[in-house]
Every structure is written in structure tokens, then in C-alpha cells.
Amino acid sequence: MQARREGKRMKRFFGIVFLCLVAGLVIANLITNVKPVSAALTSSSATSYQNMARQEAAAAGIPPDLFVNQINQESGFNPNARGGSGEIGIAQFMPETAKGLGIDPADPRQALHAAAQLMARYYQANGKDYAKALAGYNCGGGCLAHALSVGGEQWGCQIPQSTQRYIWLIMSRRVC
């Protein structure tokens, strides 16, 4: 009888431990916001896209390593990535933004070129501060302009927490 109760307790204990582990993995995935990479995406195609991103960044005059980190955060270099808010492709452009830029967001070459050019505009307009450029890319130019006008030197405290986390994941830099 005692052994049977111990067995039930152990089974219940390990069941709870298992549920906690699963919940922890789900929460970790939500926190990091990493989009899954398609099984069809081979390491050679990912490397090819990384090289393309580096070339586009260098041509646009932005730091290649940070741009590669950015695109990795956006899509994991998956040209077929789809975001929860409607973002499309390797650079996760919203359809309206892509249309305004005159690009097909599902075409990795066009998307990487446009993303590097857009980042270069934000980068130059903000005194070559890549964190501010990332904020503009992630939450929009209007969001960044408002944060700068309201927050001044503490602009980073005025942007959404999701954008603060985005900058941290790419640059390991806190802005607030």
C-alpha cells in the first residue's frame, strides 16, 4: 500500500515537472520571438543569404554584423517567413511598406536590398546610431520621432517594450 502511494506521488511529481518544462519552453519561445526556420532552408542557402545581407549592408554603409543580426532576428534568414502581424519574407516587411518601397517582400534579394537602404536612411538621419535606426525599422519612423521628441536622451524609454527587446536581442544594448 505504502509503495503504491509512493509510486502515485512520484508519477504525479514527474508529471508536474514535465508540464513545467513544457511551459518553460513555450514561454522561452514567446520571449525570444524567434521565428522558426523552414526545414527546407538549408545551411548553404542561409549562408548565401547572410553573405547577401553583408554585401547589401556594406554597400549601404551600415555595420554588416549588426544587419546580419537584425535579419536573423527578423526571420532566421527564412525567405518564406510570415509574421503574426502580416510581415512577409526575409526582412519581415509589412505589405504596405513593401508596396511603398516598390519591392516584392518575398524576393530575398529585393527585400535585403530595401532593408539595408531603409536602415541606412535611419542610420544617417540619427547620427549613425544603429539602436535608433533599429527602433525606426521596428516600430516605425513616426514612433521613433515621437520617442526622440518626448524622451530626448531617454528616447529609448518612450518606445514599445517589444522594440526595446528587439534592440537588445540584436545589439545586446539597453536603450532604457
The pLDDT of residue 30 is above 50: no
Q: How far apart are CA 67 and CA 24, in angstroms?
A: 30
Is 169 a residue whose pLDDT tops 90? yes
Q: What is the grid cell recorded at 19?
A: 508540464
CATH of domain 43-171: 1.10.530.10
pLDDT at 22: 34
d(CA 117, CA 166): 19
Domain residue ranges in the chain: 1-32, 43-171
Q: What is the DSSP letter of 48?
A: H
Q: Can you tell me the distance from the alpha carbon of 63 to that of 16, in angstroms, rounded to the nearest whole number? A: 46
Q: How far apart are CA 139 and CA 136, in angstroms?
A: 6
Residue pLDDT, tens place only, 85-115: 999 999 999 999 999 999 999 999 999 999 9
Task: Return the higher-pLDDT residue of 2 and 118.
Answer: 118
Question: Is there a contact between 171 and 131 (Cβ–Cβ < 8 Å)?
Answer: yes
Instruction: Give residue 32's identity as a one-letter amino acid code.
Output: T
Distance between CA 138 and CA 94 in Å, rounded? 11
The three grid cell numbers given for residue 111, joined into one nine-digit string: 527585400
Q: pLDDT band for 25, please (50, 70, 90 cuts).
A: very low
